């Protein structure tokens, strides 16, 4: 397991996003209106959590998402900004557990519990190559 002593609960980051037509439910096929799509909100949340710990990971390591439990609370129109805050609340070995809150220009639009796993990239890619060989 990679040495992750610097990654501790309490770590947090806020990342800003802009809602574009390409991030809408209509564009992504998850709904029929031009508002922020839930799959795009999930992507924003995962990206923010990744960015929170990426600078602290040992060389050759990264994190992958393994669980997202999201509540999408309110619609956000095209042109609005979205601020996503990811707070690391627990570290269990190589598992990182985040609480995430998303706010648009006027209100809270989403909350999530998100788990990420720290992986060794080389071992992960070898596993994928081995899986390809079974097909």
- Examine residue 29 and state whether it is found in any structural domain, yes or no: yes
Residue 58 reports pLDDT greater than 70: yes
* Residue 7 lies inside a defined structural domain of this protein: no
Please indicate whether residue 38 is annotated as part of the active site: yes
| 27, 38, 62, 85: the active-site residue | 38
85 assigned to active site: no
Rg (Cα) of the chain, in Å, rounded?
16
pLDDT of residue 98 exceeding 80: yes
Cα 132 from chain centre: 26
Does 5 reside within a domain?
Answer: no
Mean pLDDT of the chain: 95
Domains contained in the chain, number: 1
Catalytic residue among 46, 48, 63, 76: 46
In a domain, 101, yes or no: yes
11-57 tens-digit pLDDT:
999 999 999 999 999 999 999 999 999 999 999 999 999 999 999 99
What is the model's pLDDT at position 2?
46
Write the CATH number for 92: 3.10.129.10
46 is catalytic: yes
Residue at 1 is within a domain:
no
Give the list of residues 6+ apart from residue 86 with CB closer than 8 angstroms, or none.
12, 13, 15, 45, 48, 49, 51, 52, 98, 99, 100, 114
Active-site annotation holder among 24, 40, 63, 72: 72
Provide the token pair at 107.
């209100």
Q: What is the mean pLDDT of residues 60-81?
A: 98
The pLDDT of residue 1 is above 50: no
Q: Which domain range does residue 37 map to? A: 12-133
């Amino acid at each position: 397991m990679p040495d992750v002593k610097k990654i501790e609960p309490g770590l947090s980051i806020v990342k800003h996003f802009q809602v574009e037509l390409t991030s809408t439910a209509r564009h992504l096929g998850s709904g029929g209106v031009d508002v922020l799509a839930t799959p795009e909100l999930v992507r924003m949340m995962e990206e923010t959590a990744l960015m929170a710990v990426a600078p602290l990971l040992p060389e050759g390591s990264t994190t992958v998402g393994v669980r997202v439990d999201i509540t999408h609370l309110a619609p956000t129109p095209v042109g609005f900004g979205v601020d996503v805050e990811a707070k690391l609340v627990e570290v269990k070995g190589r598992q990182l557990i985040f609480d995430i809150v998303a706010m648009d220009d006027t209100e809270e639009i989403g909350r999530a519990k998100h788990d990420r796993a720290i992986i060794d990239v080389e071992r992960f890619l070898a596993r994928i190559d081995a899986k390809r060989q079974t097909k």
